Amino acid sequence: MVHEEIEELKALVNPSEILTPESKEFKEHTLPFAKQKHRNPGLVVRPSTIDSLSKVIAFLAKSSLDFKIRSRGFGSASARDIIVSMTAFDNFDFDRENETLTLGCGQSWRDYYEKMEQIAPEYTGLLCGGFSWLSGEYGAASDPANLLDIQVVKLDGTIIWASEEPDLLWAMRETEGAFAVAVNFKMRCFKYPEKVWSGPILLPNTTEACKQICTGIVGMDTRSIHPRVALFLYRMAPDILKAIGDGGVGALKYTQTMYWNPIALPKLTETILMNSFEWYGKTQTAAEGALRNSSNLLFELFCCTDAANRLASGWPRPVGFRHMVFLRAGAPTEGPLDDLAKNFVTEGPKEIFGPDARLEVTANGLEPFYDPKEVFGENYEKLLQLKREYDPKNRLRTPLRA
């Protein structure tokens, strides 16, 4: 049955839109960032037009084939049978008069910056990646004021702009494409100063330095600071830092298993920061240091602001949301070390915030151990209702299931 359906799928598209395991580009389109999520797909379909994508999605939705939509970034989309690669969708249409950009979903943020630098360098301040350096001033990229519309392919193959069905556009915000396949994003652009003061500060890994960091950050958090101020705080092993410096974060792709826990915070305390540092220290010494180069801690500080309407997106923004902390751990291979790494990530919040603390998990990159009902809170029932309408069998394989 699977073989017959794959052959039928291949007949729907141009041969140039097919990648097999023998293709030179196959690994690039199939290897996930996290090793444990690799499902060894047998075929990649890379539609070159939206009409071709429409036929592919309509067929796959009715088939028995396991498939996953995949674009760029640090995700780990994989499937047993078919990967639908979106990398051919590289539309870039800048409207200077209205200060908007229609951006194809198959591009990296590096692609965006290079293109915008050539066309309108004064507008390189597009909000990127959900929460960014500009989110303290303008909010999240998915906010209605910033993400104006999304061109999608529904599972029946229909091509629409999601604003034609307002509930769909609402549901597509911060839900990982749980309802339709996104093709183009229409986004607000912002003029921004070309001269920005920034740079890294490297500090020694000592108790005294950690205390100084905590005191300084908490002091900033208690003051009213300019919305253009943002700070990222990393705790990571030197080898990881070097790998990122040499080849970017992509240098870590498929080198280890990986689990993460992204938590939204309204404020920081020295206790939270010091507990986080202790958690990180444990990952570095556990199993004789076997997790050292696959675990890290990241704070994105002053990275967001309250939404005009916290329920205007599928994921209800927590009140007072100002910071994010990412706990990440992994192992070189699956097995006991991988189990240990996963335990660090799932149990870490209890060590840092206390066993009874109510945590707000952000909706990007949800791991299987999250409860979607808790993550999406008061929007959960409405999202389920829309899931039953747009993807009742969860063919898009997202954490939201009807």
What's the Cα-to-Cα distance from 69 to each of 15, 180, 269, 349, 354, rounded to whole Å? 19, 10, 40, 31, 37
Q: Is the pLDDT of residue 314 over 70?
A: yes
**Average pLDDT, integer, range 208-218:** 93
In 43-168 the beta strands, taken as DSSP E runs, fall at 43-45, 67-70, 82-85, 92-95, 100-104, 147-153, 159-161
Pick the CATH number of 207-366 from 3.40.462.20, 3.20.170.30, 3.10.20.30, 3.40.1480.10: 3.40.462.20
Rg for the chain (alpha carbons), in Å?
Answer: 21
Phi first, then psi, for residue 231 (nearest 5°) are -145, 130
What class, spelled out in words, does domain 92-193 have in CATH?
A: alpha beta
- pLDDT for 124 beyond 70: no
Q: Quick one: pLDDT at residue 79?
A: 97
Over residues 378-383, mean pLDDT: 97
Indicate if the pLDDT at residue 388 is higher than 90.
yes
Nearest residue to 44 (alpha-carbon basis) of 20, 22, 24: 20
- pLDDT of amino acid 306: 84
Q: Enter the tokens of residue 228.
A: 């253009």
- As a whole number of angstroms, the distance between CA 303 and CA 161 comes to 29
92-193 and 207-366: identical CATH topology? no
The rounded distance, in Å, linking the Cα atoms of 401 and 61 is: 15
Q: What pLDDT, on the 0 to 100 scale, is given for residue 390?
A: 98
Pairing of the two strands 67-70 and 82-85: parallel
Residue spans per domain, the chain: 2-85, 92-193, 207-366
Helix intervals (H) in 323-393: 336-353, 372-376, 380-390
Over the stretch 327-338, which tens digit does the pLDDT of each residue have? 999 999 889 999
DSSP E strands, 241-381: 259-265, 296-301, 323-329, 360-361
Q: What is the pLDDT of residues 8-50, one digit of tens each?
A: 999 999 999 999 999 999 999 999 989 999 999 999 999 999 9
Q: How far is residue 340 from each of residues 34, 276, 287, 289, 332, measured CA to CA in Å?
A: 15, 17, 9, 12, 12
Residue 248 has pLDDT above 90, yes or no: no
Select the CATH number that applies to the domain covering 2-85 from these four: 3.30.43.10, 3.20.20.70, 3.30.450.20, 3.60.130.10: 3.30.43.10
pTM of the model: 0.93
pLDDT interval class at 135 (50, 70, 90) = confident
| Mean pLDDT, range 167-178, rounded to an integer | 94
